[in-house]
Amino acid sequence: MSPQEKMELIKTFQEKLSDTAKKVFENAAFAMIDMPEEEQECAEASCETRICVMIEFEGHFRGRLAMSASGALAPVLAANMLGVDEDDPDAGKKGTDAIMEILNMVCGNLLPEVAGADVEFRMTAPEVISPDQYRIFESEADDPYSFSEDISVESSPVSFVLTIKSDRDRELM
């Protein structure tokens, strides 16, 4: 894949990520999503407990999608997905699992939106990563083949970092 093709790919991902995430949050967890009104809202997120997860994919191209969400949002999403109250023990126990499954759905629905339904991808299972690891991914978002996007879910900040990996990465693996 040429550098120009990769740049166009990243642009398409940027256009599609918010819409896909919105559909998944609304349909899977009945959660409202909008763009953060103030930059400060997401800056404050770094001070609270975060749940960070990532998934890798490989097919016509390969890359990684990571997501970071507030620890307080996790039981809300779990409760909505399970149809129980937020103080239900199941909601508390399955918060991280809810975040992982949301990322799985976002990535699984995003790839055919970007590459078309005829392209096959293999996705890894979602895995929890440390906030430090997530910050490393965020710092790589200045790379031309990576970008980050912040959204607000139920007035709680959620961020994504998407990276298209280079052919050199493939050679090193």
20 lies in the binding site for other proteins (CB under 8 A): no
**Nearest-angstrom CA–CA distance, 27 and 108:** 14
10 vs 74, which CB is nearer to other proteins?
A: 74
Site for other proteins in 80-119 (CB under 8 A): 81-84, 90, 94, 97-98, 100-101, 104-105, 107-109, 111-113, 117-119
Residue 109: helix, strand or coil by DSSP? helix
154 lies in the binding site for other proteins (CB under 8 A): no
Rg of the chain on CA atoms, in Å: 16
What does the block give as tokens for 112?
A: 């055919």
Stretch that binds other proteins, among 63-71, 121-129, 139-147, 157-165 (CB under 8 A): 121-129
125 lies in the binding site for other proteins (CB under 8 A): yes
**Nearest-angstrom CA–CA distance, 71 and 40:** 18
Position among 27, 46, 133, 139 found at the interface with other proteins (CB under 8 A): 27
**Nearest-angstrom CA–CA distance, 57 and 9:** 14
Tell me the C-alpha to C-alpha distance, in Å, between residue 23 and each of 37, 168, 171: 20, 34, 36
Residues that bind other proteins (CB under 8 A): 23-24, 27-28, 78, 81-84, 90, 94, 97-98, 100-101, 104-105, 107-109, 111-113, 117-121, 123, 125
